[in-house]
């Protein structure tokens, strides 16, 4: 994906990606603080992925790398989805792409984990 196609601050995008490839992005127009965030799925030349969130606070853009925890099996995956949704405030649409599932599946996982 070409960085210039993403409607966000180009300098911050280049800084977040470095030499790596932005594989997917999602713009959240209203995050938990009322601002706009850009969620990035970035893949390096070795195939490793990282998630970077750029939060537009109006007076500045705050970059933050989200730590991804390794998991084995569906139950651990669901716990990681729950953690990323609740603690890191990633959107369901972004999580669906990250884990190669559908957004309704993420919604169901979040609902089930909330009931536990």
pLDDT in tens, 20-29: 999 999 999 9
DSSP-assigned letter for residue 112: H
Q: Could you give the percent of the chain with pLDDT greater than 90?
A: 92
| CATH code of domain 69-116 | 1.10.10
> Is the pLDDT at 33 greater than 90, yes or no?
no
CA 5, 50, 55, 109 torsion-angle sign: positive
Q: Strands across the sheet with 61-66, in order?
A: 21-28, 36-43, 49-56, 61-66
Residue-range domain boundaries for the chain? 1-66, 69-116
**Confidence (pTM):** 0.93
pLDDT in tens, 49-59: 999 999 999 99
């Amino acid at each position: 994906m070409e960085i210039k196609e993403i409607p966000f601050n180009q300098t911050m995008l280049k800084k977040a990606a470095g030499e790596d490839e932005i594989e997917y992005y999602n713009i959240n127009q209203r995050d938990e603080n009322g601002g706009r965030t850009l969620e990035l799925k970035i893949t390096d030349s070795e195939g490793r992925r990282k998630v970077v969130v750029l939060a537009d606070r109006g007076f500045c853009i705050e970059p933050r790398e989200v730590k991804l925890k390794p998991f084995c099996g569906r139950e651990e995956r669901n716990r990681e989805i729950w953690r990323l949704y609740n603690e890191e405030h990633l959107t369901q649409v972004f999580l669906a792409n990250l884990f190669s599932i559908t957004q309704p599946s993420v919604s169901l996982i979040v609902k089930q984990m909330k009931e536990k």
